[in-house]
Amino acid sequence: MLLALLLTAALPHSSLAAAEPAPCVTMNTANLPLATRKSPLDSVMFSVGAAQVRLCYGRPSVRGRTMLGGEIAWGKLWRTGANEPTMIHTTGPIVFAGVAVPAGSYSIYTMPGQGTWHIIVNRSITQWGHESSYSAEVKKQEVGHGMASSAALEQPVEMLTFEPRPGVDGSVDLVLTWEKTSVSIPIEPGK
The full DSSP string for 133-190 is G--HHHHTTEEEEEEEEEEEEEEEEEEEEEEEEE-STT-EEEEEEEEEEEEEEEEEE-
d(CA 157, CA 2) in angstroms, rounded, equals 54
**Domain ranges, ordered by start, for the chain:** 19-189
- Is the distance from CB of 190 to CB of 95 less than 8 angstroms? yes
Angle at 141 (CA atoms; ends 117, 118), nearest 5 degrees: 5
Check residue 8 and give its pLDDT. Answer: 35
Check residue 145 and give its pLDDT. Answer: 98
pLDDT of the chain along its 191 residues, tens only?
333 333 333 434 333 346 899 999 888 888 888 999 999 999 999 999 999 999 999 999 999 999 999 999 999 999 999 999 999 999 999 999 999 999 999 999 999 999 999 999 999 999 888 899 999 999 999 999 999 999 999 999 999 999 999 999 999 999 999 999 999 999 999 99
Residue 141, classified by CB atoms within 10 Å of its CB into exposed (0-12), middle (13-18) or buried (19+), is middle
3-class secondary structure, 126: coil
d(CA 5, CA 14) in angstroms, rounded, equals 16
Check residue 10 and give its pLDDT. Answer: 40
Check residue 88 and give its pLDDT. Answer: 98
Check residue 30 and give its pLDDT. Answer: 86
Beta bridge partners of 177: 161, 182
Taking only the tens place, the pLDDT of each residue in 140-174 is 999 999 999 999 999 999 999 999 999 999 999 99
d(CA 53, CA 156) in angstroms, rounded, equals 27
Q: What is the pTM of this model?
A: 0.87
Check residue 164 and give its pLDDT. Answer: 98
